[in-house]
Amino acid sequence: MGGFGSGGFSAPIINDIDEHTTLSARRSKPTYWTLAMPNGAVELVTDRAIVVGREPQFMPALPQARLIPVPDPTRSVSKNHACFSLYGATLVVEDLGSTNGVIVTRPNGREDDIGVGGRTELEAGSRVELGDTVINIGRA
C-alpha cells in the first residue's frame, strides 16, 4: 500500500488525462494597446517600438521602430519626440530629448511631466501631450 506520510493517502492515478489547463474564452481574448492620433488614426502597439514626431527619422538605438508622423501646424512637436514601447504587457512612453517635453494626464486627472529623456508607464484612458499635440491611450 503506497501513500504519502502515515495518513495512508494514495497518489492519484492519471490515465490519459490532459494535465494542461486552458484559458477560458473570457480570459483568452487578447487585449491590445492603442494610440489614438490627433488626425483620427488609431495605431495598434505591437512588439515594435513606435517613434512619434513631426518628421520622425531612423534612430540607430531603435532600428526596428515604426516611424509615425503627427500633424503639427504649430511646430511644437520635435522631429523624433517620443517613443511608445511594450515591456511585457505594460505600455511605456519615453521622451526622446524633445524641446517641449512629454506630459501624461492620468485617468484620475494627475499630470506627470516626465522630463527630457524620462519615461513612464501608461494606463488606458491616459492622454499624452507632445507639445500642442495629444495622443489618447486605449485598450482594444
Q: How many domains are contained in the chain?
A: 1
Is the residue at 16 inside a domain? no
Q: Tell me the average pLDDT across 4-11.
A: 51
Q: ∠63-66-71 over CA atoms, to 5°?
A: 130
* pLDDT tens sequence across 66-122: 999 998 999 999 999 999 999 999 999 999 999 999 999 999 999 999 999 999 999
Q: What is the CATH number of the domain that holds 49?
A: 2.60.200.20
Is the residue at 96 inside a domain? yes
Is the residue at 19 inside a domain? no
Q: ∠111-118-66 over CA atoms, to 5°?
A: 100
* pLDDT tens sequence across 19-62: 666 555 555 556 799 999 999 999 999 989 999 999 999 999 99
Is 82 within 8 Å of 53 (Cβ atoms)? yes
Is the residue at 71 inside a domain? yes
Q: Report how far apart, in Å, the C-alpha atoms of 119 and of each of 56, 60, 93, 96, 135 are.
A: 18, 19, 6, 9, 16
Is the residue at 91 inside a domain? yes
Full residue range of the structural domain in which residue 57 is found: 25-139
Is the residue at 51 inside a domain? yes
The pTM of the full predicted model, rounded to 2 decimals, is 0.78
